[in-house]
Amino acid sequence: MQVSIRELKAHLSRYLAQAQKGQRLAITSHRKVVAHIIGVPATESAGVERLIASGSAQWMGGKPAGAAVRLSPIGRSVSEMVLDGRE
């Protein structure tokens, strides 16, 4: 489907919804194709859902906890090196 830039700007959400459903959009400027919009289909994380369903994983409803890794500074900091590089 070909859509002019003006039409795309006027009805962006409608065209993005069509692209997400699989419609490929050719964007035109002065009747020449300048870009294509190809939607990314909405997918569920089937792998994670399968692990939860099998009991191999569980989700307690919260955000995942970060790793308990602490970085200790050795030598100069990155900001110091950047500042030196600017001189």
- Give the tens place of pLDDT for each residue, 32-51: 999 999 988 666 667 777 88
Neighbours of 6 (CB within 10 A): 10
Name the token pair of 14: 């409608």
Backbone phi, psi, residue 29, to 5°: -135, 120
Q: Domains, the chain, ranges and CATH? A: 1-54 (3.40.1620.10)
| Residue with tokens 């919804």, as numbered in its chain | 17
Return d(Cα 81, Cα 75) in angstroms, integer: 10
CA-CA-CA-CA torsion sign (75, 78, 79, 85): positive
Task: Give the mean pLDDT of the chain.
Answer: 86
In sequence order, what are the beta bridge partners of 32? 29
Please tell me which residue, 12 or 46, carries the higher pLDDT value. Answer: 12
